[in-house]
């Protein structure tokens, strides 16, 4: 009986130690979900790009914008992964500045993408209009997510007392 309780306590302590010793960055599920939506939209657009489609140029531009956004989000997640590998005592303002710089680049690119979608000519085909509306909403949401990510980094800097 005592042996069984000892084993359960040891397992519980091991589990607690494992949970609290792991470095975990709370990935913003919204940003990851948005990345997946944009990627799926790009795949749908890619299937409709063809010489028979009257909106060929517009669809090509939409596809390129989507893929660029996906790659930038992926790059940010890779940077966060590298950031997580830095020992806490080695983290400094420069580490955060790289993340902030990338988020600023993402915002500028996203604003250009959003402007190009908003200023796109009138689509000939109905499905292209649907793509434009969805992508426009995704890019607006991406702008909000970038702001939230910057706020999260600012909070992390304050918690870690980095100036």
Task: Work out the percent of the chain whose per-residue pLDDT is above 90.
Answer: 44
pLDDT tens digits, 132-149: 999 999 999 999 999 999
Domain limits, the chain: 26-159
pTM comes to 0.77
pLDDT tens digits, 8-24: 544 444 443 444 444 44
Would you put residue 161 in left (φ > 0), alpha (ψ -120 to 50) or beta?
Answer: left
Check whether domain 26-159 has CATH 2.30.30, yes or no: no
pLDDT tens digits, 99-144: 999 999 999 999 999 999 888 878 777 888 899 999 999 999 999 9
pLDDT tens digits, 33-52: 999 999 999 999 999 888 78
Per-residue pLDDT at 67: 95
Per-residue pLDDT at 72: 95
- CA 25 → CA 48, 81, 82, 152, distances in Å? 37, 8, 11, 11
């Amino acid at each position: 009986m005592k042996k069984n309780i000892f084993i359960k306590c040891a397992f519980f302590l091991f589990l607690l130690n494992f949970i609290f010793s792991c470095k975990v960055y709370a990935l913003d599920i919204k940003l990851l979900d948005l990345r997946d939506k944009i990627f799926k939209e790009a795949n749908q657009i890619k299937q409709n790009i063809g010489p028979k489609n009257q909106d060929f140029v517009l669809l090509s531009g939409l596809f390129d914008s989507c893929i660029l956004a996906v790659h930038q989000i992926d790059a940010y997640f890779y940077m966060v992964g590298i950031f997580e590998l830095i020992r806490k005592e080695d983290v400094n303002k420069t580490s955060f500045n790289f993340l902030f710089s990338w988020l600023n680049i993402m915002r500028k690119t996203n604003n250009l993408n959003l402007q190009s979608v908003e200023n796109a000519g009138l689509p000939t085909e109905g499905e292209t209009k649907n793509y434009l509306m969805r992508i426009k909403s995704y890019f607006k949401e991406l702008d909000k997510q970038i702001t939230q990510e910057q706020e999260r980094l600012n909070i992390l800097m304050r918690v870690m007392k980095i100036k």
